[in-house]
Amino acid sequence: MRYIGIALMAVSAVGGGFLAAKRWRDRLDILCMFRQMIYHLKSRILYSNEPLPEALFEVGSRFSEGKTGSFAEPGKLFLAVAERARENRNLSFSVIWKEAVESIPKDCPLAAADRQNLSALGENLGYADRGMQERTLLFYLEQTDDAIAFLKKEADGRMKLYRSLGVAAGLFLFVLLV
């Protein structure tokens, strides 16, 4: 029975390393999804002349379809903002956006800086003219591109590091306790 417990502890340490590596990859994928969504939102606002709630609903519907878990959160965010903006026309868009960003689950693999950039996006998006909205979207895209470039540059090394540390911790526990 003792050896089964030791083996389970070692396996859980290895799993922790692989889980940390997966969260890094998931953050990168979610940021890439947000970037795509913002490009679609920009085109709907600038070229299709759609009102913001309608554009958010269309983009959110498109990107939440068939997604589960953390990968559904970007689409859910847009859908929640669109729904709330339609229902409460007397609330400012920035308040609605900020509340929706704050409601993203804590287990979603977004960093604090990612959440802050998302919050800042909504501050200038709902009330300005099309030119200001375009500049706001472009600024968010620039920030997201910087984060994505950093994650891509560091991804291989960090993922290997997390996996290796998990395996090393598992082996250390196994050797120490046996």
> pLDDT digit of tens for each residue in the chain (178 aa)?
777 877 777 788 778 888 888 888 899 999 999 999 999 999 998 888 888 889 999 999 999 888 888 888 999 999 999 999 888 878 888 899 999 999 999 988 999 999 999 998 888 786 767 888 888 899 999 999 999 999 888 888 888 888 888 888 877 877 777 7
pLDDT value of position 76? 92
pLDDT value of position 100? 92
Q: Is 0.85 topped by the overall pTM? A: no
Quote the CA–CA distance of 99 and 34 in Å, as a whole number: 18
> How is the chain split into domains, by residue range?
2-177
Quote the CA–CA distance of 73 and 101 in Å, as a whole number: 10
Residue position matching structure tokens 């939102």: 41
How many Cα atoms are found within 13 Å in the side-chain-facing hemisphere of 115? 16
